[in-house]
């Protein structure tokens, strides 16, 4: 990928397979396995008098060979994907039209069963210097015909770490500018100089509460000077945050050059960048059920083709996602191949966003209303029964006391037989309301 920066030579292609023998996540374990095999073979040879070459291969050696074959197959698939991008670029105009004509829910089945938003919200997340703002400008430029339009997102240029440059306010960008179907959110960079909990809290807030254009993102670990400066900037902006939007899918952006530097650091002493990627990419709030974020690595224009392929394969194994379909190499280049990669990445993101829209609340509301009505009916019935009982209890003691008083006064006057006859002479039907 990368247009003019991608040059296919026979020498480069022939040596590419050798370049793919790079340390991956399991490199340490593989080295240990090989050392263990050699040690076991030497011991067996010394005991039985046979050489290590005559020993049968162990299971760990077999696993190592399988892994090496798989890695070689992945490298060939990645090279083939770069070639396919050249072919797909011939249909770039048609693919762009699909994105430009997109409406939320257009690429999902059973639209009536889902709560379809008016705007599909895609959020860009990643460590500092990953190129999120640059990617916003690159996407806008790829989909719009105006090549001379000014950049939309502010990009920090050669800024040292710890200064006040960067994206501190959430920024919403409609894609394209005059549309309401797709919006990209540029966010504040994830921190890899503080605890992981801080990144988790930020990601949880964005994914559960939503995002708003112009909202200031302040961390607890920000120093007093930075906090004061950011609050001053927020006061000067002079506008209130916009509408809260629910995030529908995540685009995770990393710096391919930073990944390669740590990849070539074989002693593993500096893994801060990749460790931040692993911890935040696997944050459960970024996934939609089984769908993990799509991954974009930038700054590929500063790398050779073989290094870009190495980074792509490494990221796939590092994060457990297919490198040919879920890892996109988008360099800072103006060419058809890069635009094709951008369009394919957007297509992937929008299709997965449509697939994971929440179900409609109509059925839930009906059940809620029905249960509420049933509760009201039961409450009314219980209230009626309680009133009736309280009414009867208020009448019964009065008549019972009258009857007892009558019995006490007339007990001596009337014998028991006469009282019994008097009870029989009473018309109980006429005085049934008393009971």
Do residue 383 and residue 272 come from a single domain? no
Residues 200 and 261 in one domain: yes
Q: CA angle, 360 as apex, 357 and 361 as ends, to 5°?
A: 135
Return the pLDDT at 166: 80
In the listed set 360, 387, 421, which residue is the last one of a domain according to the structure? 360
Which residue among 303, 332, 360 closes a domain?
Answer: 360
pLDDT of 51 > 50? The answer is no
Q: How many domains, in total, are found in the chain? A: 2
Rounded distance, CA 31 to CA 33, Å? 5
Average pLDDT score over residue span 296-307: 93
The four Cα atoms 19, 21, 27, 33 give a dihedral, to 10 degrees, of -160
**pLDDT tens digits, one per residue of 243-296:** 899 999 999 999 999 999 998 887 666 788 999 999 999 999 999 989 999 999
22 inside domain: no
Stated pTM of the model: 0.70
CB atoms within 10 A of CB 68: 13
Per-residue pLDDT, 365: 56
177 and 185 Cβ atoms separated by less than 8 Å? no
Same domain for 229 and 340: yes
Same domain, 350 and 373: no
The pLDDT tens digits of the residues spanning 357-370 come to 888 775 455 555 66
Statement: residue 14 has pLDDT above 50: no
- Of 179-183, 197-201, 339-343, 395-399, the one with minimum mean pLDDT is 395-399
Give yes or no for a contact between 313 and 323, defined as CB atoms under 8 angstroms apart: yes
181 shares a domain with 307:
yes
Residues 127 and 220 in one domain: yes
In a domain, 43, yes or no: no
Which pLDDT tens digit goes with each residue over 63-81?
A: 767 777 777 878 888 988 8
Predicted confidence at residue 22, as pLDDT, reads 43
- pLDDT reported for residue 248: 96
Q: With pLDDT > 90 as the criterion, what percentage of the chain qualifies?
A: 38
Task: Reply yes or no: is the peptide bond before residue 220 cis, omega within 30 of 0.
Answer: no
pLDDT at residue number 151:
87
Q: What is the pLDDT of residue 11?
A: 43
Identity of the highest mean pLDDT range in 20-24, 61-65, 153-157, 259-263: 259-263
Give the span between the Cα atoms of 302 and 256, in whole angstroms.
9
Identify which of 142, 248, 253 has the alpha carbon closest to the alpha carbon of residue 187. 253
Within a domain: 11: no
The answer to the question of residue 3 being in a domain is: no
Instruction: Give the residue with greater pLDDT, 264 vs 5.
Output: 264
Residue 114 gets which letter from DSSP?
A: B
CA atoms within 13 A on the CB side of 331: 25
The answer to the question of residue 4 being in a domain is: no
Residues 297 and 400 in one domain: no
> pLDDT (tens digit, 9 = 90+) per residue, 218-239?
888 888 888 888 888 877 655 5
Residue at a domain's end among 329, 360, 391 = 360
Residue 49 has pLDDT above 60, yes or no: no
Question: What's the CA gap between 126 and 278, in Å, rounded?
Answer: 11
- Which are the contacts of 396, defined by CB distance < 8 A and separation ≥ 6? 434, 435
- Share of the chain residues as helix, strand and coil, in percent rounded to the nearest 5: 55, 10, 35
Same domain for 355 and 373: no
Phi-psi region of 311 (alpha: psi -120 to 50; beta: other; left: phi over 0): alpha
Q: Residue 21's pLDDT is what? A: 45
Range of the domain at 100: 93-360
Q: Which of 311, 313, 251, 317 is nearest to 278 (CA)?
A: 317
Q: ∠ CA(168), CA(204), CA(110), 5° rounding?
A: 110
In a domain, 26, yes or no: no
**Residues 202, 117 share a domain:** yes
CB-CB neighbours of 271 under 10 Å: 13
Identify the CA nearest to 253 among candidates 304, 218, 285, 300.
300
Helix (H) or strand (E) holding 399: helix 362-410
Q: Specify whether 341 is located in the same domain as 215.
A: yes
What's the whole-number average pLDDT of the chain? Answer: 77
How large is the average pLDDT for residues 375-383? 83
CATH of the domain at 203: 3.40.50.300
Whether residue 205 sits in one domain with residue 348: yes
Q: Quick: pLDDT tens for 168-198.
A: 899 999 998 889 999 999 999 998 765 658 8
Q: Where are the alpha helices (DSSP H) in 238-304?
A: 256-264, 272-281
- What lies within 8 Å, CB to CB, of 159 at 6+ separation is 165, 166
Question: Does residue 367 or residue 390 have the better pLDDT?
Answer: 390
Q: Is the pLDDT of residue 16 over 60?
A: no
The band of 155, judged by pLDDT with boundaries at 50, 70 and 90, is confident
Residue 72 within any structural domain of the chain: no
**Considering the domain boundaries, does residue 298 fall inside one?**
yes
3-state secondary structure of 231: helix
Report the percentage of the chain scoring pLDDT > 70: 68
């Amino acid at each position: 990928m990368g247009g003019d920066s991608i040059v296919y030579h026979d020498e480069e292609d022939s040596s590419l397979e050798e370049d793919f023998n790079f340390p991956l996540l399991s490199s340490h374990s593989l080295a240990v396995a090989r050392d263990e095999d050699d040690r076991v073979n030497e011991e067996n040879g010394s005991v039985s008098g046979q050489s290590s070459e005559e020993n049968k291969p162990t299971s760990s050696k077999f696993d190592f060979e399988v892994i090496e074959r798989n890695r070689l197959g992945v490298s060939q698939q990645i090279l083939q994907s770069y070639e396919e991008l050249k072919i797909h670029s011939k249909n770039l105009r048609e693919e762009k039209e699909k994105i430009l004509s997109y409406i939320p829910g257009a690429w999902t089945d059973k639209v009536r069963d889902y709560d379809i938003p008016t705007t599909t919200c895609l959020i860009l997340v990643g460590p500092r210097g990953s190129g999120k703002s640059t990617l916003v400008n690159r996407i806008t430029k790829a989909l719009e015909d105006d090549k001379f339009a000014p950049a939309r997102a502010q990009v920090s240029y050669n800024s040292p770490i710890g200064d006040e440059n960067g994206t501190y306010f959430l920024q919403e960008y409609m894609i394209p500018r005059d549309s309401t179907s797709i919006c990209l959110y540029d966010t504040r960079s994830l921190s890899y100089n503080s605890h992981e909990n801080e990144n988790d809290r930020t990601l949880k807030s964005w994914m559960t509460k939503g995002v708003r254009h112009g909202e200031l993102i302040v961390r607890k670990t920000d120093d007093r000077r930075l906090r004061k400066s950011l609050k001053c900037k927020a006061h000067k902006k002079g506008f209130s945050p916009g509408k809260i939007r629910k995030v529908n899918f995540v685009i995770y952006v990393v710096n391919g050059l930073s990944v390669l530097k740590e990849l070539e650091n074989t002693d593993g002493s500096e893994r801060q960048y990749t460790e931040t990627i692993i911890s935040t990419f696997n944050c459960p709030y970024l996934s939609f059920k089984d769908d993990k974020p799509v991954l974009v690595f930038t700054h590929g224009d500063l790398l050779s083709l073989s290094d870009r392929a190495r980074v792509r394969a490494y990221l796939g194994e590092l994060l457990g996602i297919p490198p040919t379909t879920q890892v996109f190499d988008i360099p800072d280049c103006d060419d058809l191949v890069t635009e094709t990669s951008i369009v394919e990445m957007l297509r992937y993101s929008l299709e997965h966003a449509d697939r994971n829209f929440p179900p409609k609340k109509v059925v839930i509301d009906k059940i809620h209303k029905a249960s509420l009505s049933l509760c009201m009916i039961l409450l009314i019935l219980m209230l009626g029964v309680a009133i009736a009982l309280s009414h009867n209890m208020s009448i019964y003691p009065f008549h019972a006391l009258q009857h007892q008083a009558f019995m006490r006064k007339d007990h001596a006057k009337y014998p028991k037989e006469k009282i019994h006859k008097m009870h029989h002479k009473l018309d109980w039907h006429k005085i049934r309301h008393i009971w």
